[in-house]
Amino acid sequence: MQFSKGHGTENDFVLLPDPDATLDLTPARVAALCDRRRGLGADGVLRVVRWAALEDEDGPAPEPGVEWFMDYRNADGTAVEMCGNGVRVFARYLQHAGWLGGSETPVGTRSGVRVVRMDPTSADGEISVDMGPAIVGEHSTASVDGALFPGVAVDVGNPHLACVTGHHIDALDLTAAPGHDRALFPHGVNVEFVSPLVATGGGSDGEVTMRVHERGVGETRSCGTGTVAAAVAALRDADRHTGTVAVHTPGGRLRVTVEAATTVLHGPAVLVAHGELTRSWWEAAGREPARMSS
């Protein structure tokens, strides 16, 4: 059983090539793979599968002309709608495997099709993903250690609560999930803490710093969809609806272009290693109860 390991600004993933959908990828196996002590260690698992092969599984129906589907699972084993860093790493793997049709390819996700573009002129192999429109919802609050942080709900194919704050975000303890309105987010939410937009040059309209707590994972070094939500919220906080924002995460720098009809995420994607899973380990992991990655 082959695997690869990759990351996008240190948001890391185990990739499982399964073009014909033959793997029994249970929540227990996902959790074991992502565990940083008893497994390979990752924020999530990306199963690389042909969309047509998933017809017998729950999920969106295949769309014409889209061969590959990103079956993304969080570290706790739950299936998730979308992952912006993950889809770039997924595209990098398709390129490595010779399965990428060209510099631009559509990828199926549980949030719909995302078009991925490889930039051959970029020194670090930047990959751009058309993330679709970000839908701004209700205002709400997140709580950390009893302190309340106003924020806004932003749907980027998955739910986010982006809180723009002048608070020193490096001081926040994000070990536990921030408190949130469970009526507004019944299935949980990714929570971003974002510094106010600061004007800069260099091809962007401004820059922000972000930290994020992802549902089903914990605090991560970066989050692609969270980066988009952070950029949208920071622009709104500055009384703007469009623009290009540089977002600094603990794992690195990303750029987000917010347009009237869509958003585009730009950033690196790196494959770190390729290897083979031990069959006995895989079978034993399938018999274990799922538990959170550590």
What is the set of domains in the chain, with CATH numbers? 2-126+270-287 (3.10.310.10), 135-266 (3.10.310.10)
Q: What is the pLDDT of residue 294?
A: 41
Mean pLDDT of 280-293: 77
Q: What's at 245, amino acid-wise?
A: V
- Answering whether pTM is above 0.75, one says yes
Q: What is the tens place of the pLDDT at every residue in 47-75?
A: 999 999 997 677 789 999 999 999 999 99
Q: What is the tens place of the pLDDT at every residue in 217-273?
A: 999 999 999 999 999 999 999 999 999 999 999 999 999 999 999 999 999 999 999
CA separation for the pair 238, 226 (Å, rounded): 18
Which DSSP symbol is given to 76?
A: T
Q: Look at residue 139 and tell me whether its pLDDT is greater than 50.
A: yes
Nearest to 80 by CA among 10, 30, 118, 130: 30
CA separation for the pair 148, 145 (Å, rounded): 9
83 is catalytic: yes
Catalytic pick among 80, 116, 197, 223? 223
68-83 core/surface letters (b: 16 or more CB in 10 A; e: else): bbbbbbbbbbbbbbbb
Which DSSP symbol is given to 52?
A: G
Question: Which band of pLDDT confidence, cut at 50, 70 and 90, is reported for residue 203?
Answer: low
Catalytic pick among 83, 94, 163, 194? 83
Q: What is the pLDDT of residue 286?
A: 86
Q: Which two tokens stand for residue 196?
A: 């106010």
Q: How many H-runs (helices) and E-runs (strands) does the chain carry? A: 4, 17
Determine which helix (DSSP H) or strand (DSSP E) holds 45, and give its type and residue range: strand 44-50
Residue 75 in contact with residue 86, Cβ under 8 Å? no
Q: Which two tokens stand for residue 232?
A: 């949208």
Q: Look at residue 42 and tell me whether its pLDDT is greater than 90.
A: yes
| Backbone φ, ψ for residue 273 (5° rounding) | -160, 160
Q: What is the pLDDT of residue 202?
A: 66
34 is catalytic: no
Q: Which two tokens stand for residue 99?
A: 């399965």
CA separation for the pair 83, 89 (Å, rounded): 10
- Average pLDDT taken over every residue of the chain: 93
Mean pLDDT of 139-155: 97
Q: Look at residue 215 and tell me whether its pLDDT is greater than 50.
A: yes
The vertex-227 CA angle with 221 and 230, nearest 5°, equals 120
Nearest to 87 by CA among 52, 114, 126: 114
Q: Look at residue 99 and tell me whether its pLDDT is greater than 50.
A: yes
Question: Which band of pLDDT confidence, cut at 50, 70 and 90, is reported for residue 293?
Answer: very low
Phi-psi domain of 231 (left: phi exceeds 0; alpha: psi -120 through 50; beta: other): alpha
Question: Which band of pLDDT confidence, cut at 50, 70 and 90, is reported for residue 164?
Answer: very high
